[in-house]
């Protein structure tokens, strides 16, 4: 018995196959359609499926999966194993929720901080008893660069690339230095705050821009507690299938 797990984001979709808790296969696609789903389901042992989506235009995909699997649309109303204290649980981002569920799988009964570095950078902690109270949302790296271009008359539009110096030597490198170094210090600050509130804190880093933070943070004092887990959201969605089976 295998599970098909799908996370549909703003710009691309992630697809994964799990056998129990083990990730067997995963990939990213720009456009997800029933042809791709059919390839996954052909000659496979997939019995269950789940979709987490930022938009509602997934009816055709859902109908396709409903005919062939035990299908679930991920929402905050499902059984998750999380004691969700968020004051407006219906507005909690599904990626944020799936990430903290995944953290409980990776580090069961541990204090965890999930940092998801994507379009936005989100910070969400769950304690060793499975209680989630809330978190923080900050602009992502590309958003910061774009905002400087959009909200000023002279700053150029700069593509996000690796930049390791602590300062810039022209306008482009100064913007990259400010965004990357500023975000790193922001992450360190959040980790320090949560580290002071939770004993033996485990920090999980995921999201499309996690590569920009991974080695920089591993050179910090928090390296011993840091784990980069790019498939954390998928792991959380797979756990939801198992809890709602």
The catalytic residue positions are 95
Which is it for strands 112-117 and 202-206: parallel, antiparallel or unpaired? Answer: parallel
Is 142 in contact with 133 (CB distance < 8 Å)?
Answer: no
CB 99 within 8 A of CB 124: yes
Bridge partners of residue 215, in order along the sequence: none
Nearest to 101 by CA among 50, 141, 145: 50
- The C-alpha atoms of residue 21 and residue 153 are separated, in whole angstroms, by 51
- Sheet architecture: strand order including 131-139: 83-84, 131-139, 120-126, 112-117, 202-206, 226-228
Element (H, E) at 60: helix 59-68
**Could you identify the residue written with the tokens 């949302």?**
137
Q: Are strands 13-19 and 22-29 parallel, antiparallel or unpaired?
A: antiparallel
What's the rounded Cα separation, in Å, for the pair 187 and 37?
37
Cα–Cα distance measured from residue 138 to residue 123, given in angstroms and rounded to the nearest whole number: 8
**Residue 22, by phi and psi: left (phi above 0), alpha (psi -120 to 50) or beta?**
beta
């Amino acid at each position: 018995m295998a599970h098909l797990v799908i996370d549909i984001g703003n710009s691309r979709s992630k697809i994964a196959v799990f056998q129990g808790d083990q990730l067997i296969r995963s990939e990213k696609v720009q456009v997800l359609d029933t042809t791709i789903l059919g390839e996954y389901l052909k000659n496979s042992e997939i019995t269950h499926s789940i979709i987490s989506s930022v938009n509602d235009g997934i009816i055709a995909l859902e109908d396709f999966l409903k005919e062939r699997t035990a299908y679930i649309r991920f929402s905050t109303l499902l059984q998750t194993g999380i004691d969700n204290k968020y004051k407006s649980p219906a507005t909690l981002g599904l990626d944020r929720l799936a990430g903290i569920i995944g953290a409980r799988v990776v580090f069961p009964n541990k204090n965890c901080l999930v940092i998801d570095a994507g379009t936005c950078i989100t910070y969400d902690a769950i304690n060793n008893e499975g209680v989630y109270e809330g978190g923080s949302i900050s602009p992502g790296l590309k958003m910061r660069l774009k905002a400087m271009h959009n909200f000023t008359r002279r700053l150029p539009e700069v593509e996000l690339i690796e930049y390791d110096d602590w300062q810039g030597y022209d306008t482009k490198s100064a913007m990259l230095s400010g965004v990357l170094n500023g975000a790193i210090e922001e992450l360190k600050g959040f980790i320090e705050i949560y580290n002071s509130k939770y004993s033996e804190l485990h920090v999980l880093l995921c999201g499309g821009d996690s590569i920009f933070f991974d080695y920089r943070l591993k050179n910090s004092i928090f390296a011993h507690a840091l784990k980069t887990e790019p498939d954390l959201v998928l792991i959380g969605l797979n756990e939801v299938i198992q809890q709602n089976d």
